[in-house]
Amino acid sequence: MPENNQPAIDITGLTKAFGDHQVLCGIDLTVPTGTVCALLGPNGAGKTTIVNILATLLTPDAGTVRVTGHDVVADGSAVRAAIGVTGQFSAVDGLLTGAENLRLMADLRRLGRVEGRRRVDELVDRFDLRGAAGKPASTYSGGMKRKLDLAMTLVARPRVLFLDEPTTGLDPRSRRDVWDIVRSLVQDGVTILLTTQYLDEADRLADQVAVLTGGRIVAHDEPARLKQLVPGGRIRLQFAHPGALAGARRTVADVWGDTRDHPVDPETAGDTATLDVELPVADTVGALRRLLDRLDDQGTPVRQVEVTAPDLDDVFFALTDPSVRKA
C-alpha cells in the first residue's frame, strides 16, 4: 500500500476570495490517512468553502490542494472518484424513495445489478431505514434525511469523506447515530474531514482539531493538547458553613499566591457555600494537596471538592475572541 505514507488531504497556502471578501487567507492543513480531522469554527469562518474546494465544487485562488495525492484542479475526476461529500443541505431527491435514491448512486458508480442491490440493502439496514426505504424522501424527518444523505455518500465506499456540519439541526438521538456511524467508518480506515460548530462533537470524534476563524487556522492539535492551551481548569470547594468562605478565600490567596477567583454561578452552586477557583498550571496536584491540608489545619473542613478540566469551549473562546488573543 504505497499510498499509506501520503496524507489523505494536503492543503498548502490555500486562499479564496468572493469578490472583495477574502474568505480564506492562507490555509495549511494536512490530514493523515485513516484519521479524523475536525474543522472547528463559527459561522462564516470559511469551513464550507474549504469543503467545497476539496470537493471540487470551487476552485482555489492560490495554493495547492491535494486529496489522496491528486490535485483538485488538475485532476478533479480522480479526486471525485475517491471522495464522498455530505453537505449542510440534504442532497437527496425528494421525489424518489430512499431505496431509489441509494440505487441511483449505485447505478452512477457502476456497482452492477447484484452488488448494487446488496450494497443498498446493507446500507438500509445499517442506517435503520428499512421501514422508510419505500417512501419518497420528501416525507422523511430531518434526521432521517440526513441519514439517507450519508448513506448515499457511502454507497461507493469513499476513502476520504467530507462531512459539512453533519449534525447541525439534528435532535440529540440522531446526533448520536451520526457519531456512531462516523466512528465505525474510522474503523474501516476511512479518512474524515468534518466541520462543526459543536465543541463536544470535535472532542468526541476527532484525532486532530483545526480551529478556523476569519479564514485562518489559529490552532491545530489533538483535542487534549488544545485544552492545555488554556490554564489548568478549575476547582470548586463546598463548605459546610457560609461563614467559612471569607477565610477560605484568604487561605487560597496565601497558599497559591495570585490566582483568579471565579464568580460562582448561582444556578449550579445552589444555596451552599461554594468557592470556584482557577487551578495553578504548574504542579497542580501538589498545589491542590497543600491547599486542602491547610484548610483542614485551620479547621475549615471542605465538604466536597470538584475539579473540572478545561473544555474545548474555553479553548475556542480563548482562540477566537479577539480581545483574549491580543492579551
Smallest distance, other proteins to C-beta of residue 126, A: 20
In this structure, how many other beta carbons lie within 10 angstroms of the beta carbon of residue 32? 16
- Smallest distance, Å, CB 65 to other proteins? 14
Closest CB 325 distance from other proteins, rounded Å:
28
Closest to other proteins by CB, 196 or 274: 196
CB distance 279 to 287 below 8 Å? yes
Q: Which is nearer to other proteins, 105 or 279 (CB)?
A: 105
Polymer length of the chain: 327
User: How big is the CA angle at 114 (ends 111 and 120), to the nearest 5 degrees?
Assistant: 70
Q: Which is nearer to other proteins, 94 or 243 (CB)?
A: 94
Q: How many angstroms separate the CA atoms of 196 and 40, rounded?
A: 5
List, in sequence order, every residue forming a beta bridge with 164; answer none if it has no partner.
195
Cα–Cα distance for residue pair 154/146, rounded to 1 Å: 12
| Closer of 151 and 319 to other proteins (Cβ) | 151
- CB of 130: closest distance to other proteins in angstroms? 21
> Quick one: 49 or 300, whose CB is closer to other proteins?
49
Residue 166, all three cell numbers: 453533519
Distance from the Cα of residue 265 to its chain's centroid? 27
Min. distance of Cβ 4 from other proteins in angstroms?
22
Q: Which residues bind other proteins (CB under 8 A)?
A: 18, 48, 52, 55-59, 77, 80-81, 83-85, 87-96, 100, 104-105, 107-110, 136, 152-153, 156
DSSP state of 4: G
Q: Is 180 exposed, middle or buried (0-12, 13-18, 19+ CB in 10 A)?
A: exposed
User: Of 81 and 264, which has the nearer Cβ to other proteins?
Assistant: 81
Distance CA 132, CA 201 (A): 28
